[in-house]
Amino acid sequence: MKVYLNLAVVPSRRERYALVWAVPTLAAALLIFVYLAGSTIRDFRRSREIRGSLASFQAKDADLRARETAIRLELARPESRHLVHETEFVNQLISQREFSLTELTVKVSKLLPSDVKLNGLGLAGSDSQPEVRFAVMGKSEKAIESFLSNLEGSKDFSDVTIKNQGFREESKTGTEQVALICTARYVTGIPSPAP
């Protein structure tokens, strides 16, 4: 007589539950593994690119440092130091003799009454108080006199001299206007060089 033993164990509810979820969990784990592997490969490639660009920048930096050292050595030579000293001296002289035409124009425009316009502005002489030539047109003699009074009363100008005065007819409007050409010394003009 043969005896058959069944050694199989009836799976419990927990084991059946684990078996059902094993396949989706394995699929999810495989997806996560593929994602992490791809991310690792991308990061590795990116780090190689960054290392390559860093090496390029380091080479450029080394080249710039070598050029800087060469320039410093060149500037350390006595001839170059002498040239730098002379250049600084000339720049200092230029800054002391600086003249601002914009500043002059602003000062003149403050002296003009509303019914007087500036037709021309010239500068003659290169001394510390150059002569400024004004050509103005006004709607009346009173407006021109007001400009002259402002010019004579200004602390920026002195020695006002009238060169020419007359009447002109404007072609656009046909009205007669007073024209004046005068000169004055620009007292706050070019600064004197330092001794």
3-state SS string for the chain:
CCCCCCCCCCCCHHHHHHHHHHHHHHHHHHHHHHHHHHHHHHHHHHHHHHHHHHHHHHHHHHHHHHHHHHHHHHHHCHHHHHHHHHHHHHHHHHHHCCCCHHHHHHHHHHHCCCCEEEEEEEEECCCCCCEEEEEEEECCHHHHHHHHHHHHHCCCEEEEEEEEEEEEECCCCCCEEEEEEEEEEECCCCCCCCC
Number of domains in the chain: 2
Contact 189, 129 (CB under 8 A): yes
Let me know whether 73 and 128 are in one domain.
no
Query: What's the confidence (pLDDT) of residue 9?
Result: 74
Residue 3 lies in a domain: no
Say which residues have a Cβ less than 8 Å from residue 192's Cβ, sequence separation at least 6: 128
Q: What is the CATH number of the domain that holds 104?
A: 3.30.70.60
Q: Which domain holds residue 111?
A: 99-186
| Max Cα distance, the chain (Å) | 152
User: Is the confidence at residue 16, as pLDDT, over 90?
Assistant: no
- pLDDT for position 194: 47
Using CA atoms, how far apart are residues 151 and 142, in angstroms rounded to an integer? 14
Q: Are residues 156 and 140 in the same domain?
A: yes
| Confidence grade of residue 129 (pLDDT, cut at 50, 70, 90) | confident
**pLDDT band (50, 70, 90) for residue 2:** confident
CB atoms within 10 A of CB 116: 22
Residue 195 scores a pLDDT above 50: no
Per-residue confidence (pLDDT) for residue 91, from 0 to 100: 78
- Rounded-to-integer distance, Cα 119 and Cα 147, Å: 13
Q: Are residues 140 and 89 in the same domain?
A: no
Q: Are residues 137 and 148 in the same domain?
A: yes
Q: How many CB atoms lie within 10 A of CB 100?
A: 11
What confidence tier does 94 reach under pLDDT thresholds 50, 70, 90? low
For residues 117 and 89, membership in a common domain is answered with no
Least confident segment among 51-55, 69-73, 123-127, 140-144: 123-127
Instruction: Pick the most confident of 3-12, 73-82, 153-162.
Output: 153-162
| Pair (90, 145) in one structural domain | no
Lowest-confidence region among 10-14, 171-175, 188-192: 188-192
Residue 172 has which token pair? 């656009």
Q: Which amino acid is located at 2 in the chain?
A: K
- pLDDT confidence of residue 132: 87
The answer to the question of residue 69 being in a domain is yes
Asked which of 77, 98, 119 is the last residue of a domain, the reply is 98
In a domain, 115, yes or no: yes
pLDDT at 189 over 60: no
- Percent of the chain's residues with pLDDT above 90: 26
Average pLDDT, the chain: 83
Residues 162 and 117 in one domain: yes
Residues 38 and 78 in one domain: yes
Mean pLDDT of 64-90: 86
Q: What is the pLDDT of residues 158-174, one digit of tens each?
A: 888 888 888 877 666 66
Q: 120 and 135 share a domain?
A: yes
The mean pLDDT value for 52-74 works out to 92
Which positions ≥6 away from 1 have C-beta within 8 Å? none
Contact 144, 165 (CB under 8 A): yes
Which residue, 47, 70, 98, sits at the end of a domain?
Answer: 98
What is the percent of the chain with per-residue pLDDT over 70, rounded to a whole number? 88
Place of tokens 């150059």: 130
Residue 190 tokens, joined: 């070019």
Last residue of a domain, one of 98, 124, 142: 98
